[in-house]
Amino acid sequence: MDALTRIKQYISEDFDTYNACFAQALQTDNILLKQVLEHVAAKQGKQMRPIIILLSAKLCSGITRQTILAAVSMELLHTASLVHDDIVDDATMRRGQQAVNVRWDNKTAVLVGDYLLSKALALALETNNIKAISIITELGQALSSGELLQLFLAWNTNPDEDSYFKIIRQKTAMLFAAGTSIGAVSVNAEAEKCTALRKFGEALGVCFQLKDDYLDYVSDNNGLGKPAMSDVRDGKITLPLLRAMQKAPQEQANRLVQQIMSKEIEDIDAVRTFVMQYGGLEYTEEMMLKYKAEAIEALRVFPDSETKDALLQILDYVIARTY
């Protein structure tokens, strides 16, 4: 039994309530919409975001109806962003199954994404919590802004770490930070606790993305839900490759980045070898440990408890996972 399964058992009653509420939010009489939503809901991933929302609320005082609604709202918003991202990225797979834009078409994917976004905002309003509503709306803006920044920087022939981390903070890290924050505000936690949980969530999110980028170079297709080395195939340069480029001879690095950005790479294994040769993976691991330390430090304002330990177990899981 992995850490996430154990933690789900720890909050099993509230997690069941969340899942029931999420399923209810996807109910519709529209035949095509129903088919697409059932396809999307069939693979919900690790469900890490709703877990950290529930745990954050529990750490501050206790899980409420507002917490459940906030968690469902955020997951709907995240799902909408994934459906739209797959169109932008011309993705074919999502969580081990065909992306909506492939199973149906781009028009359907756009409309379903819009529907999910509207549903997310409607549920946010149901919380009657202005702070929770603000977090949801700010998250939606940040995700779009982060995606646009990533598109803009895709044309940058001199990618750098600052730009890489800026994208992470506006996308993955923002998702996790918004999750821990909304859990806290859903129970009207004091400012110090809200701030601490936001810092924890942001550091956790950075660790999550760093691990994803690391796994892209060391995993096969099994378990990732997407082809291995998919970032390189898509012309994306992430931290393992960025670091290797910094350490490699400039001419070799420049030649490689041009090939990747123009999507003219024929020997994918050569890129993997390049990253390993010049320490890209080791550096990515070092950065994960740096942000792990930041996440642990953020939770020091809370006394030791089973709930705090559960959040720290998630942090360990994120870094140790193999998919």
Query: Mean of the pLDDT values across residues 167-190?
Result: 97
In order, the DSSP letters of 138-178 are HHHHHHHHHHHHHHHHTT-SS--HHHHHHHHHHTHHHHHHH
Total residue count of the chain as it appears in this document? 323
- The structure tokens listed for 188 are 């009207």
**Is the alpha carbon torsion for 273, 275, 277, 281 positive or negative?**
negative
The residue whose two tokens read 């998702």 is 175
Amino acid 225: pLDDT: 56
pLDDT at 264: 72
- pLDDT per residue as tens digits for the range 17-36: 999 999 999 999 999 999 99
Does pLDDT of 222 surpass 60? no
Query: What are the φ/ψ torsions at residue 81 (nearest 5 degrees)?
Result: -65, -35
Q: Is the pLDDT of residue 254 over 90?
A: no
pLDDT at residue 221, rounded to an integer:
60
| Residue position matching structure tokens 């899942």 | 19
Quick one: 84 exposed, middle or buried, by C-beta within 10 A (0-12, 13-18, 19+)? buried
Q: Which of residues 236 and 178 earns the better pLDDT score? A: 178
Work out the pLDDT band at 265, boundaries 50, 70, 90: confident
The tokens of 265 are what?
């790479």
Instruction: Express each pLDDT in 136-157 by its tens digit.
Output: 999 999 999 998 988 887 777 6
- DSSP symbol at 94: E
DSSP single-letter state for residue 301: G
Q: Which residue has the higher pLDDT, 112 or 267?
A: 112
- pLDDT tens for 181-193 read 999 999 999 999 9
- In degrees rounded to 5, what are phi and psi of residue 93? -125, 145
* Mean of the per-residue pLDDT values of the chain: 93
What's the domain range around 132? 3-320
Percent of the chain with pLDDT over 70: 97
Q: How confident is the model at residue 195 (pLDDT cuts 50, 70, 90)?
A: very high
Residue range 27-77, pLDDT digits in tens: 999 999 999 999 999 988 889 999 999 999 999 999 999 999 999 999 999
CB 50 within 8 A of CB 15: yes
Mean pLDDT value across residues 211-232:
78
Secondary structure class of 207 (helix, strand, coil): helix
pLDDT tier at 270, thresholds 50, 70, 90: confident
Domain count, the chain: 1
Read off the CATH number of the domain in which 128 is found: 1.10.600.10
Averaged pLDDT for residues 92-120: 95
Q: How large is the average pLDDT for residues 177-181? A: 98
The pLDDT, as a whole number, for residue 277 is: 95
Distance (Å, rounded) from C-alpha 204 to C-alpha 316?
10
The pLDDT of residue 228 is 74
d(CA 219, CA 122): 39
Local confidence band at 227 (pLDDT 50, 70, 90 cut-offs):
low
- Give the pLDDT band of residue 97 (cuts 50, 70, 90): very high
In this structure, are residues 138 and 102 in contact, taking their beta carbons and an 8 Å threshold?
no
CB-based burial label for 256 (10 Å; 0-12, 13-18, 19+): buried
Would you say residue 224 has pLDDT above 60? no
pLDDT of 46 reads: 86
